[in-house]
Structure 1
Amino acid sequence: MAYLLVCSLFLAVGVFASDPELVSDYAAEPTATNASFFTFTAFRGHVRAAPGAFMVRKASLVEFPGLAGQGVSMAQLFFQPSSVNPPHIHPRASELLYVLEGSLTVGLLDTTNKLFVQTLGMGDAFVFPKGLVHFQFNGAQYPAKAISAFGSSNAGTVSIPATIFGSGIEDQVLTKAFKVGTDTIQKLKAAILKF
Protein backbone atom coordinates (compact mmCIF):
# COMPACT_ATOMS: atom_id res chain seq x y z
CA MET A 1 0.00 0.00 0.00
CA ALA A 2 2.81 2.42 0.90
CA TYR A 3 4.48 1.56 -2.42
CA LEU A 4 1.37 2.64 -4.36
CA LEU A 5 1.18 5.88 -2.38
CA VAL A 6 4.82 6.72 -3.14
CA CYS A 7 4.35 5.87 -6.84
CA SER A 8 1.25 8.06 -7.07
CA LEU A 9 3.11 10.96 -5.46
CA PHE A 10 5.92 10.68 -8.03
CA LEU A 11 3.34 10.53 -10.81
CA ALA A 12 1.58 13.64 -9.49
CA VAL A 13 4.84 15.56 -9.30
CA GLY A 14 5.66 14.58 -12.91
CA VAL A 15 2.22 15.52 -14.18
CA PHE A 16 2.25 18.96 -12.57
CA ALA A 17 5.91 19.82 -13.25
CA SER A 18 6.29 23.26 -14.84
CA ASP A 19 8.06 26.57 -14.33
CA PRO A 20 8.28 27.43 -10.64
CA GLU A 21 5.23 29.32 -9.46
CA LEU A 22 5.84 32.87 -8.31
CA VAL A 23 4.85 33.96 -4.83
CA SER A 24 5.08 37.62 -5.84
CA ASP A 25 4.19 39.65 -8.93
CA TYR A 26 7.52 38.88 -10.60
CA ALA A 27 10.90 37.30 -9.85
CA ALA A 28 12.91 40.37 -8.83
CA GLU A 29 13.30 42.76 -5.95
CA PRO A 30 10.57 45.41 -6.49
CA THR A 31 12.71 48.32 -5.26
CA ALA A 32 15.51 47.41 -7.68
CA THR A 33 13.21 46.89 -10.70
CA ASN A 34 12.29 49.35 -13.43
CA ALA A 35 10.61 49.05 -16.84
CA SER A 36 13.83 47.70 -18.40
CA PHE A 37 13.42 44.49 -16.40
CA PHE A 38 10.24 43.76 -18.39
CA THR A 39 11.69 44.82 -21.77
CA PHE A 40 13.54 42.69 -24.34
CA THR A 41 15.07 44.53 -27.31
CA ALA A 42 17.32 41.87 -28.89
CA PHE A 43 14.79 41.15 -31.66
CA ARG A 44 15.27 44.63 -33.13
CA GLY A 45 16.82 45.03 -36.54
CA HIS A 46 16.66 43.10 -39.75
CA VAL A 47 18.38 39.71 -39.77
CA ARG A 48 19.19 37.54 -42.72
CA ALA A 49 20.57 34.04 -42.36
CA ALA A 50 23.49 32.99 -44.55
CA PRO A 51 22.54 31.35 -47.89
CA GLY A 52 21.06 27.90 -47.29
CA ALA A 53 21.11 28.44 -43.52
CA PHE A 54 18.65 28.45 -40.65
CA MET A 55 19.08 30.95 -37.83
CA VAL A 56 17.27 31.46 -34.51
CA ARG A 57 17.18 34.34 -32.00
CA LYS A 58 15.77 33.39 -28.60
CA ALA A 59 14.03 35.25 -25.82
CA SER A 60 14.19 32.67 -23.05
CA LEU A 61 15.18 32.84 -19.40
CA VAL A 62 18.88 32.94 -20.35
CA GLU A 63 18.52 35.99 -22.60
CA PHE A 64 15.64 37.68 -20.77
CA PRO A 65 15.68 37.29 -16.95
CA GLY A 66 12.31 39.05 -16.71
CA LEU A 67 10.72 35.78 -17.85
CA ALA A 68 11.61 34.02 -14.58
CA GLY A 69 8.50 32.33 -13.25
CA GLN A 70 6.27 33.57 -16.09
CA GLY A 71 5.99 30.26 -17.97
CA VAL A 72 6.53 31.78 -21.44
CA SER A 73 9.34 32.44 -23.92
CA MET A 74 9.70 32.95 -27.65
CA ALA A 75 12.07 32.75 -30.60
CA GLN A 76 12.47 34.31 -34.03
CA LEU A 77 13.26 31.81 -36.79
CA PHE A 78 14.87 32.74 -40.11
CA PHE A 79 15.03 30.24 -42.99
CA GLN A 80 16.89 30.72 -46.25
CA PRO A 81 15.67 28.55 -49.16
CA SER A 82 16.57 24.86 -48.66
CA SER A 83 17.33 25.37 -44.97
CA VAL A 84 16.13 23.23 -42.10
CA ASN A 85 15.67 23.46 -38.37
CA PRO A 86 16.80 19.85 -37.77
CA PRO A 87 14.71 17.33 -35.85
CA HIS A 88 14.70 18.32 -32.19
CA ILE A 89 12.60 18.30 -29.02
CA HIS A 90 11.74 20.79 -26.30
CA PRO A 91 11.67 18.74 -23.08
CA ARG A 92 9.95 21.38 -20.96
CA ALA A 93 7.42 23.08 -23.26
CA SER A 94 5.02 22.87 -26.15
CA GLU A 95 5.77 25.19 -29.07
CA LEU A 96 3.35 27.29 -31.11
CA LEU A 97 4.93 28.32 -34.43
CA TYR A 98 3.47 31.21 -36.46
CA VAL A 99 4.69 31.89 -40.03
CA LEU A 100 5.33 35.60 -40.60
CA GLU A 101 6.73 35.43 -44.15
CA GLY A 102 7.11 32.74 -46.81
CA SER A 103 6.16 29.12 -46.32
CA LEU A 104 7.48 26.22 -44.26
CA THR A 105 7.00 22.48 -44.24
CA VAL A 106 6.70 21.33 -40.64
CA GLY A 107 6.47 17.89 -39.16
CA LEU A 108 6.27 16.03 -35.90
CA LEU A 109 6.51 12.44 -34.77
CA ASP A 110 4.23 11.16 -32.03
CA THR A 111 5.23 8.44 -29.57
CA THR A 112 3.95 5.73 -31.96
CA ASN A 113 6.32 7.08 -34.67
CA LYS A 114 3.42 8.43 -36.71
CA LEU A 115 4.60 11.35 -38.84
CA PHE A 116 2.41 14.45 -39.22
CA VAL A 117 3.54 16.86 -41.98
CA GLN A 118 1.95 20.14 -43.03
CA THR A 119 2.92 22.97 -45.37
CA LEU A 120 2.26 26.34 -43.76
CA GLY A 121 1.89 29.71 -45.45
CA MET A 122 2.06 33.23 -44.13
CA GLY A 123 -0.37 33.61 -41.22
CA ASP A 124 -0.61 29.88 -40.46
CA ALA A 125 0.24 28.36 -37.08
CA PHE A 126 1.20 24.86 -35.94
CA VAL A 127 1.58 23.38 -32.46
CA PHE A 128 4.36 20.97 -31.48
CA PRO A 129 3.44 19.10 -28.27
CA LYS A 130 5.98 19.06 -25.47
CA GLY A 131 8.71 16.45 -25.82
CA LEU A 132 7.83 15.27 -29.35
CA VAL A 133 10.41 15.23 -32.15
CA HIS A 134 9.69 17.90 -34.75
CA PHE A 135 11.31 19.94 -37.53
CA GLN A 136 10.77 22.85 -39.93
CA PHE A 137 12.01 23.06 -43.53
CA ASN A 138 11.95 25.83 -46.12
CA GLY A 139 11.70 24.01 -49.43
CA ALA A 140 10.58 27.15 -51.26
CA GLN A 141 12.74 29.46 -53.37
CA TYR A 142 12.20 32.45 -51.05
CA PRO A 143 13.27 33.08 -47.44
CA ALA A 144 10.79 32.42 -44.65
CA LYS A 145 10.42 33.92 -41.19
CA ALA A 146 8.47 32.59 -38.22
CA ILE A 147 8.04 33.21 -34.54
CA SER A 148 7.64 30.52 -31.91
CA ALA A 149 6.03 30.82 -28.50
CA PHE A 150 6.83 28.33 -25.74
CA GLY A 151 4.91 27.35 -22.62
CA SER A 152 8.01 27.68 -20.43
CA SER A 153 10.58 30.37 -19.76
CA ASN A 154 13.22 27.67 -20.29
CA ALA A 155 11.85 25.22 -22.89
CA GLY A 156 15.22 23.66 -23.67
CA THR A 157 16.21 22.34 -27.09
CA VAL A 158 17.69 18.92 -27.77
CA SER A 159 18.90 18.66 -31.38
CA ILE A 160 18.62 15.01 -32.41
CA PRO A 161 21.53 14.99 -34.92
CA ALA A 162 23.87 17.01 -32.69
CA THR A 163 22.98 14.94 -29.63
CA ILE A 164 23.52 11.61 -31.35
CA PHE A 165 26.53 12.38 -33.53
CA GLY A 166 28.14 15.30 -31.70
CA SER A 167 28.00 14.16 -28.09
CA GLY A 168 30.87 11.68 -28.00
CA ILE A 169 28.82 8.47 -28.04
CA GLU A 170 31.28 5.73 -29.03
CA ASP A 171 31.31 4.63 -32.67
CA GLN A 172 30.77 1.02 -31.59
CA VAL A 173 27.46 1.94 -29.95
CA LEU A 174 26.30 3.98 -32.94
CA THR A 175 27.27 1.36 -35.53
CA LYS A 176 25.23 -1.24 -33.67
CA ALA A 177 22.29 1.12 -33.07
CA PHE A 178 22.07 2.30 -36.70
CA LYS A 179 23.32 -0.94 -38.30
CA VAL A 180 25.89 0.87 -40.46
CA GLY A 181 29.67 0.82 -40.72
CA THR A 182 32.09 2.92 -38.69
CA ASP A 183 32.96 4.95 -41.82
CA THR A 184 29.33 6.09 -42.12
CA ILE A 185 29.21 7.07 -38.44
CA GLN A 186 32.47 9.03 -38.75
CA LYS A 187 31.15 10.88 -41.83
CA LEU A 188 28.00 11.83 -39.92
CA LYS A 189 30.04 12.99 -36.92
CA ALA A 190 32.29 15.09 -39.17
CA ALA A 191 29.27 16.69 -40.86
CA ILE A 192 27.71 17.61 -37.50
CA LEU A 193 30.97 19.19 -36.29
CA LYS A 194 30.91 21.56 -39.33
CA PHE A 195 27.78 23.25 -37.94
Structure 2
Amino acid sequence: MLPIPFLLLFLSSVLSPSSAADFCVADLSLPTTPAGFSCKKESTVTVSDFVFSGLSVTGNTSNILKAAVTPAFSSQFAGVNGLDISAARLDFAIGGVVPLHTHPAASEVFLVTQGTILAGFISSSNSVYYKTLHKGDLMVFPQGLLHFQVQRGGSPAVAFAAFSSTNPGLQIVSLALFGNSLPSPLVEKVTFLDDEEVKKLKKVLGGTG
Protein backbone atom coordinates (compact mmCIF):
# COMPACT_ATOMS: atom_id res chain seq x y z
CA MET A 1 0.00 0.00 0.00
CA LEU A 2 1.35 3.44 -0.94
CA PRO A 3 2.22 5.83 1.90
CA ILE A 4 -0.38 8.61 2.24
CA PRO A 5 2.00 11.48 1.27
CA PHE A 6 3.12 9.60 -1.83
CA LEU A 7 -0.48 8.75 -2.73
CA LEU A 8 -1.48 12.41 -2.40
CA LEU A 9 1.46 13.49 -4.56
CA PHE A 10 0.52 10.89 -7.16
CA LEU A 11 -3.13 11.98 -7.24
CA SER A 12 -2.07 15.61 -7.45
CA SER A 13 0.06 14.92 -10.49
CA VAL A 14 -2.69 12.90 -12.17
CA LEU A 15 -5.42 15.43 -11.49
CA SER A 16 -3.36 18.55 -12.13
CA PRO A 17 -4.73 20.72 -14.97
CA SER A 18 -1.27 20.77 -16.53
CA SER A 19 -1.45 17.02 -17.06
CA ALA A 20 -4.83 17.16 -18.80
CA ALA A 21 -5.14 17.17 -22.56
CA ASP A 22 -6.23 20.45 -24.15
CA PHE A 23 -8.94 18.71 -26.15
CA CYS A 24 -10.31 15.34 -27.19
CA VAL A 25 -11.39 15.62 -30.82
CA ALA A 26 -13.83 12.79 -31.51
CA ASP A 27 -12.67 9.90 -33.64
CA LEU A 28 -15.93 9.43 -35.53
CA SER A 29 -14.65 6.24 -37.13
CA LEU A 30 -14.94 4.47 -33.77
CA PRO A 31 -18.15 3.60 -31.92
CA THR A 32 -19.32 5.73 -29.03
CA THR A 33 -18.80 4.66 -25.44
CA PRO A 34 -20.73 5.65 -22.29
CA ALA A 35 -18.11 8.38 -21.88
CA GLY A 36 -18.51 9.62 -25.46
CA PHE A 37 -16.24 9.25 -28.47
CA SER A 38 -12.65 8.13 -28.23
CA CYS A 39 -10.04 10.81 -28.97
CA LYS A 40 -8.23 11.13 -32.28
CA LYS A 41 -4.47 11.01 -32.10
CA GLU A 42 -3.28 14.59 -31.71
CA SER A 43 -0.97 14.12 -34.69
CA THR A 44 -4.03 13.64 -36.91
CA VAL A 45 -5.99 16.64 -35.59
CA THR A 46 -6.37 19.63 -37.92
CA VAL A 47 -8.00 23.05 -37.66
CA SER A 48 -10.97 21.66 -39.60
CA ASP A 49 -11.85 19.57 -36.53
CA PHE A 50 -12.58 22.81 -34.66
CA VAL A 51 -14.75 24.41 -37.37
CA PHE A 52 -18.34 23.46 -38.26
CA SER A 53 -20.18 25.18 -41.13
CA GLY A 54 -23.43 23.24 -41.02
CA LEU A 55 -25.35 25.89 -39.13
CA SER A 56 -25.13 28.25 -42.11
CA VAL A 57 -27.57 26.05 -44.05
CA THR A 58 -31.34 26.48 -43.73
CA GLY A 59 -33.01 23.33 -42.45
CA ASN A 60 -35.77 21.51 -44.35
CA THR A 61 -39.09 22.47 -42.75
CA SER A 62 -41.32 20.44 -45.08
CA ASN A 63 -42.46 18.04 -42.37
CA ILE A 64 -45.30 17.62 -39.89
CA LEU A 65 -43.66 20.05 -37.46
CA LYS A 66 -42.90 22.69 -40.10
CA ALA A 67 -39.58 23.05 -38.31
CA ALA A 68 -36.05 21.72 -38.57
CA VAL A 69 -33.19 21.25 -36.12
CA THR A 70 -29.62 21.14 -37.39
CA PRO A 71 -27.34 19.85 -34.61
CA ALA A 72 -23.68 20.55 -33.99
CA PHE A 73 -23.16 17.86 -31.36
CA SER A 74 -20.05 15.73 -30.98
CA SER A 75 -21.27 13.29 -33.64
CA GLN A 76 -21.41 16.14 -36.19
CA PHE A 77 -18.76 18.49 -34.75
CA ALA A 78 -15.81 16.43 -33.55
CA GLY A 79 -14.05 19.36 -31.90
CA VAL A 80 -16.65 19.77 -29.12
CA ASN A 81 -16.15 16.21 -27.88
CA GLY A 82 -15.34 16.26 -24.17
CA LEU A 83 -15.88 20.01 -23.78
CA ASP A 84 -19.46 19.88 -22.40
CA ILE A 85 -20.71 22.33 -25.05
CA SER A 86 -22.60 22.05 -28.32
CA ALA A 87 -25.02 23.99 -30.49
CA ALA A 88 -27.91 23.69 -32.93
CA ARG A 89 -29.80 25.74 -35.48
CA LEU A 90 -33.61 25.79 -35.47
CA ASP A 91 -35.61 26.82 -38.55
CA PHE A 92 -39.35 27.48 -38.36
CA ALA A 93 -41.69 27.85 -41.31
CA ILE A 94 -44.93 29.75 -40.67
CA GLY A 95 -46.86 27.61 -38.19
CA GLY A 96 -43.72 25.71 -37.21
CA VAL A 97 -43.36 24.14 -33.79
CA VAL A 98 -40.86 22.17 -31.75
CA PRO A 99 -43.31 20.39 -29.43
CA LEU A 100 -42.82 19.69 -25.74
CA HIS A 101 -39.50 17.95 -25.31
CA THR A 102 -36.64 17.57 -22.89
CA HIS A 103 -32.85 17.36 -23.02
CA PRO A 104 -31.96 14.97 -20.20
CA ALA A 105 -28.26 15.82 -20.24
CA ALA A 106 -28.09 19.58 -20.78
CA SER A 107 -29.40 23.04 -20.07
CA GLU A 108 -30.09 25.15 -23.16
CA VAL A 109 -29.65 28.82 -24.06
CA PHE A 110 -31.95 29.79 -26.95
CA LEU A 111 -31.23 32.86 -29.14
CA VAL A 112 -33.70 34.19 -31.71
CA THR A 113 -31.96 35.66 -34.77
CA GLN A 114 -34.91 36.09 -37.13
CA GLY A 115 -38.68 36.34 -36.76
CA THR A 116 -40.78 35.80 -33.65
CA ILE A 117 -40.99 32.67 -31.50
CA LEU A 118 -43.17 31.85 -28.50
CA ALA A 119 -41.06 29.72 -26.16
CA GLY A 120 -41.44 28.37 -22.68
CA PHE A 121 -40.85 25.60 -20.17
CA ILE A 122 -42.61 23.79 -17.33
CA SER A 123 -40.88 23.44 -13.97
CA SER A 124 -40.93 20.29 -11.87
CA SER A 125 -43.61 21.96 -9.72
CA ASN A 126 -45.72 22.47 -12.89
CA SER A 127 -45.18 26.22 -12.97
CA VAL A 128 -45.19 27.50 -16.55
CA TYR A 129 -42.78 30.16 -17.89
CA TYR A 130 -43.32 31.34 -21.44
CA LYS A 131 -42.82 34.47 -23.49
CA THR A 132 -42.86 35.74 -27.07
CA LEU A 133 -39.25 36.24 -28.17
CA HIS A 134 -38.00 38.58 -30.88
CA LYS A 135 -34.69 38.96 -32.71
CA GLY A 136 -31.86 39.21 -30.19
CA ASP A 137 -33.84 37.75 -27.28
CA LEU A 138 -32.36 34.94 -25.22
CA MET A 139 -34.18 32.36 -23.10
CA VAL A 140 -32.74 29.59 -20.95
CA PHE A 141 -34.27 26.14 -20.46
CA PRO A 142 -32.94 24.36 -17.37
CA GLN A 143 -31.66 20.81 -17.77
CA GLY A 144 -34.26 18.09 -18.01
CA LEU A 145 -37.33 20.35 -17.99
CA LEU A 146 -40.05 20.14 -20.63
CA HIS A 147 -39.94 23.08 -23.04
CA PHE A 148 -41.24 24.14 -26.46
CA GLN A 149 -40.91 26.69 -29.25
CA VAL A 150 -43.68 27.91 -31.58
CA GLN A 151 -43.31 30.27 -34.58
CA ARG A 152 -45.38 33.45 -34.38
CA GLY A 153 -46.14 36.17 -36.94
CA GLY A 154 -46.17 36.27 -40.70
CA SER A 155 -42.57 35.32 -41.51
CA PRO A 156 -40.31 32.32 -40.93
CA ALA A 157 -38.10 32.31 -37.84
CA VAL A 158 -34.56 31.19 -37.04
CA ALA A 159 -32.92 30.54 -33.69
CA PHE A 160 -29.68 29.10 -32.40
CA ALA A 161 -29.29 27.03 -29.26
CA ALA A 162 -26.26 26.35 -27.08
CA PHE A 163 -26.13 23.32 -24.77
CA SER A 164 -24.09 22.43 -21.70
CA SER A 165 -23.24 19.00 -23.11
CA THR A 166 -21.72 17.59 -26.27
CA ASN A 167 -24.72 15.28 -26.49
CA PRO A 168 -27.73 16.86 -24.75
CA GLY A 169 -30.14 14.05 -25.61
CA LEU A 170 -33.70 14.56 -26.81
CA GLN A 171 -37.08 13.11 -25.97
CA ILE A 172 -40.21 14.56 -27.59
CA VAL A 173 -43.22 13.90 -25.37
CA SER A 174 -45.76 13.26 -28.13
CA LEU A 175 -43.46 10.81 -29.91
CA ALA A 176 -42.60 9.09 -26.65
CA LEU A 177 -46.30 8.56 -25.93
CA PHE A 178 -47.72 7.87 -29.38
CA GLY A 179 -44.81 6.96 -31.65
CA ASN A 180 -44.12 3.61 -29.97
CA SER A 181 -45.49 0.06 -29.78
CA LEU A 182 -47.18 0.32 -26.37
CA PRO A 183 -50.67 -1.21 -26.64
CA SER A 184 -53.32 1.47 -27.01
CA PRO A 185 -55.25 0.37 -23.88
CA LEU A 186 -52.10 0.90 -21.82
CA VAL A 187 -51.46 4.33 -23.36
CA GLU A 188 -55.09 5.25 -22.64
CA LYS A 189 -54.66 4.18 -19.03
CA VAL A 190 -51.55 6.28 -18.39
CA THR A 191 -52.69 9.35 -20.35
CA PHE A 192 -56.44 9.45 -19.50
CA LEU A 193 -57.20 9.77 -23.24
CA ASP A 194 -59.91 7.79 -24.99
CA ASP A 195 -59.31 5.01 -27.50
CA GLU A 196 -60.23 7.09 -30.55
CA GLU A 197 -57.80 9.89 -29.68
CA VAL A 198 -54.92 7.52 -28.86
CA LYS A 199 -55.31 5.60 -32.11
CA LYS A 200 -55.55 8.84 -34.07
CA LEU A 201 -52.29 10.11 -32.55
CA LYS A 202 -50.55 6.76 -33.06
CA LYS A 203 -51.51 6.88 -36.73
CA VAL A 204 -50.19 10.42 -37.16
CA LEU A 205 -46.95 9.81 -35.25
CA GLY A 206 -46.15 6.32 -36.48
CA GLY A 207 -47.02 4.28 -33.42
CA THR A 208 -48.42 0.74 -33.42
CA GLY A 209 -50.53 -1.32 -31.05
TM over 0.5: yes
Counterparts of 1:97 and 1:173, CA distance in 2: 36
Please state if 1:62 is matched with 2:75: yes
Q: For 2:61, which of 39, 44, 49 is the aligned residue? A: 49
Normalising by the residue count of structure 1, what TM-score does the alignment of the two structures yield? 0.83
Q: Name 2:93's counterpart in structure 1.
A: 80
Q: Pick from 166, 189, 194: which aligns with 1:153?
A: 166
Higher RCO (C-alpha under 8 Å, 6+ residues apart): 1
**1:165 and 1:50 mapped to 2: Cα distance?**
21
Q: Distance in 1 between matches of 2:189 and 2:57?
A: 47
Deviation at residue 94 of structure 1 after TM alignment: 0.3
Paired residue for 2:48, among 12, 27, 36? Answer: 36
* Aligned equivalents of 1:167, 1:141: Cα separation in 2: 34
Identity of aligned residues (%): 29
Q: What are the equivalent positions in structure 2 for 1:91-110 lying under 5 Å apart?
A: 91-110=104-123
Structure 1 residue runs of 5 or longer lacking an equivalent are: 1-21
Residue 182 of structure 1 pairs with residue 195 of structure 2: yes
The structure whose Rg is larger is 2
Preserved contact between residue 119 and residue 131 of structure 2 (Cα < 8 Å): yes
Deviation at 1:145, TM superposition (A): 0.4
RMSD: 1.8
Runs of 5+ consecutive residues of structure 2 not aligned to the other structure: 1-18, 25-39
Specify the alignment match of 1:168 in structure 2.
181
What is the CA-CA distance between 1:170 and the residue it aligns to?
A: 1.8
Q: 1:111 to 1:62 in 2, by over 3 A?
A: same
SS at 2:56 equivalent: coil
1:23 aligns with 2:35: no
Quote how far apart the aligned CAs of 1:167 are: 2.0
- Contact 2:59 2:68 (8 Å CA) reproduced: no
Q: Secondary structure at the match of 1:188?
A: helix
